[in-house]
Amino acid sequence: MNFLVERVVEVRVSWYALKNFGRHTQRKLQSRGYVAVSEEFDRHGNPNQIWVTKAGLPAMRDLDARRLK
């Protein structure tokens, strides 16, 4: 998740570049509006790209700040 948070909003990254980011995590964050995924899927059913939304970046940074306390 740190990989996504370090990026700027709306910068697309490969789904496989993320560590510890499975389908369950993706669906959870997508339902909250924190991330968006591309419409294109690979042969394994994973989206080709994922990116942080404008609403997701502040929320993820707040979560990291709470974890570091």
**Per-residue confidence (pLDDT) for residue 16, from 0 to 100:** 85
User: From start to end of the chain, where are the E strands?
Assistant: 13-14, 35-37, 49-52
Q: How far apart are CA 46 and CA 8, in angstroms?
A: 22
* pTM to 2 decimal places: 0.74
> How do residues 26-68 score in pLDDT, each as one tens digit?
899 899 998 999 999 889 888 899 988 888 888 888 877 887 8
Q: How far apart are CA 18 and CA 21, in angstroms?
A: 6
**Per-residue confidence (pLDDT) for residue 7, from 0 to 100:** 66
Domain annotation for the chain: domains and CATH numbers: 2-68 (1.10.10)
